Amino acid sequence: MARPTALGRAGRWLLVSAGVLVLFVGYQQWGTALAHWQGQRDLRAAFAHALARAGTHRHGGSPTATAYPAVGDPVGILVIPRIGLDQVVVEGVASAQLALGPGHYPGTPLPGQAGNSAVAGHRTTHGAPFNGLAEVQPGDPIEVTTLQGRFTYRVVRSSVVPPDDIGVLRPSATSQLTLTTCTPKYSAARRLIVVARLVDPPAPATPIPVDGPAGATPTPDPVRSPGAWLELAAAVAALVGVVAGVGALRRRTASPRLARAAPWLAVPVGAVLMYLAFAVLDTLLPPTF
């Protein structure tokens, strides 16, 4: 059997690289959507439990004070009828939180309270909760249910700003909800902003933790996390080890049946390792809303 030439080996690696790239794109569209669905399920269950435990008054009642949520906790349920959105909002806008659903900017008032409450969401991956945000029109209702009750907003305007424009997160004398996402689709070149004004009387304010992250502080760049790089390196090394082990087994075994079965036996392990590697790699990409 003729040994492959250098050009043949390079061609083989290019095909493998192309295949991995296609699989990663598939993970971005469907793998992250699965994680988003699981996250929403858990957040909705946690919020329902907190709602029942708090005995919250519904719309028309007298809202009571509530504690500021910890990062990763559910904040409330966001409903935008125009685009069919019904999602649980999570506290925080880092990659880990936005993978679960729309994220409330820490340091801004909670939805339903006075001031400028801000929420970010993905538009093309991780379930794409804000995929249709550009279709929202002035006058459209937006409903948010929190532990203080149900509140209605009306959209007043939308705009497009540079991605580093944090002015949209600044405090406001108007009780409003600011929604942010990336634009155009599949790009983080600019930021789409939708602003809605609170129709109902605002709920009692919750003191914002002074030691928490400010709402106008950009999300830390996950590329600087050494732990994530180590996790990615470990997953890739394990995957390479599986591939090398299969190759060695096929070369050294005297059983033709085992030689043919070895790659198929390694497929489940390789798929799990590749999924883990993709999950870590996703957190290392530049944060996009």
- pLDDT class for 212, splitting at 50, 70, 90? very low
pLDDT at 3: 62
pLDDT digits (tens, 9 = 90+) for 38-50: 999 999 999 999 9
- pLDDT class for 4, splitting at 50, 70, 90? low
Q: Does domain 37-219 have CATH number 2.40.260.10?
A: yes
pLDDT at 226: 66
How confident is the model over 136-157, as a mean pLDDT? 97
Q: Where are the domains of the chain?
A: 37-219, 220-289
* pTM attached to this predicted model: 0.80
Which of residues 184 and 144 earns the better pLDDT score? 144
pLDDT at 240: 85
pLDDT at 258: 73
Long-range contacts of 36-40 (CB under 8 A, 24+ apart): 36/99, 36/100, 36/101, 36/126, 36/127, 36/129, 37/127, 39/90, 39/99, 39/100, 39/101, 40/87, 40/88, 40/100, 40/101, 40/127
Residue 13 has pLDDT above 80, yes or no: no
pLDDT at 210: 65
Helix axes 256-284, 226-252, angle to 10 degrees: 170
| SS3 category, 57 | coil
Residue 220 has pLDDT above 50, yes or no: no
Out of 22-26, 54-58, 61-65, pick the least confident: 54-58
pLDDT digits (tens, 9 = 90+) for 62-109: 667 788 999 999 999 999 999 999 999 999 998 889 999 999 999 999
- Residues 6 or more apart in contact with residue 94 via CB below 8 angstroms: 71, 103, 219, 220, 222, 287
User: What is the chain's length?
Assistant: 289
Residue 59 has pLDDT above 50, yes or no: no
Structure token digits, residue 105: 């900017």
- pLDDT class for 120, splitting at 50, 70, 90? very high
pLDDT digits (tens, 9 = 90+) for 227-272: 777 888 888 888 888 878 877 877 777 777 877 777 777 788 878 8
